[in-house]
Amino acid sequence: MISHNEFARLVNDPDIKGASRTFRGKKSVKGPGVMVSEEGAQEKSTPPLTPKQAKQYFEKHEPSAKEKEAHGGWKQGGVIFQDKSRKYETLGEARVAGNLNRQIAGWDLGKGKEEHGVDILRPEGGNVYFDRDMPGVNPDWRWRQTSRTTSQYERLAPKPGKNDRVDLAHVNRGATRMNKKGKTVPVTLNEVLATISRNRRNS
């Protein structure tokens, strides 16, 4: 069982990617599977998350939570997020739920006790970004999603990490833009993908 105190500790820990516990019994949610947030239930706060905040969110959403729904929390970009989410057993189910719930991304829990997770190319899990499909853009197999694998565009974070920048440098074909400081910077592929998915959600 994950108490409110333990939930807050896990969410605040910089070495842990967040926490997820069931509304029924406060049990830890394990992989394999992809967690997808319910639309309209996400709340933001400034870090650190306190046990009181975790308790308030839990008690607010517990009465309406279905059996398989969970309380999730994580820190991203100096913001604490809490949500009501559900684990989906396959990438296909998660993709459908992500688009229906108008979510930017879901969280692949990784392999858990299984030999591999829902994504056989990435057994450790991680973010799965939804609604970025661009059929025919690149024939390379890494850019094709399947029922057992995520594609390259489903794994690219909105803000590329150091390793992503190296990989993306050769695919922007020299495109540039002006940033807020008036400096010319390269347009990265994941910026294009983020715009595509945002426009599709808003259309």
pLDDT of residue 29: 97
CA dist 36 and 42 (Å) reads 11
pLDDT of residue 178: 87
CA dist 126 and 149 (Å) reads 12
Which residues, 6 or more positions from 72, have their beta carbon under 8 angstroms from its beta carbon?
18, 19, 20, 35, 37, 81, 82, 83, 84, 85, 107
CA dist 135 and 192 (Å) reads 15
| C-alpha separations of 139 from 121, 135, 142, 145, 166 in Å | 18, 9, 8, 12, 21
CA dist 93 and 52 (Å) reads 33
Single-letter residue type at 124: E
CB 155 within 8 A of CB 142: no
CA dist 201 and 148 (Å) reads 24
pLDDT of residue 165: 60
Residue 173, pLDDT above cutoff 80:
no
CA dist 10 and 16 (Å) reads 7
- Tens digit of pLDDT for each residue in 81-110? 999 999 999 999 999 999 999 999 999 999
All structural domains of the chain with their residue ranges: 4-155, 158-203
pLDDT of residue 77: 83
Which among 155, 166, 111, 163 has a CA at the least distance from the CA of 130?
A: 155
- Tens digit of pLDDT for each residue in 52-63? 999 999 999 999
pTM of the model: 0.82
Phi, psi of 74 (to 5 degrees): -160, 165
CB 196 within 8 A of CB 99: no
CA dist 34 and 87 (Å) reads 5
Greatest Cα-to-Cα distance within the chain, rounded to the nearest angstrom = 53
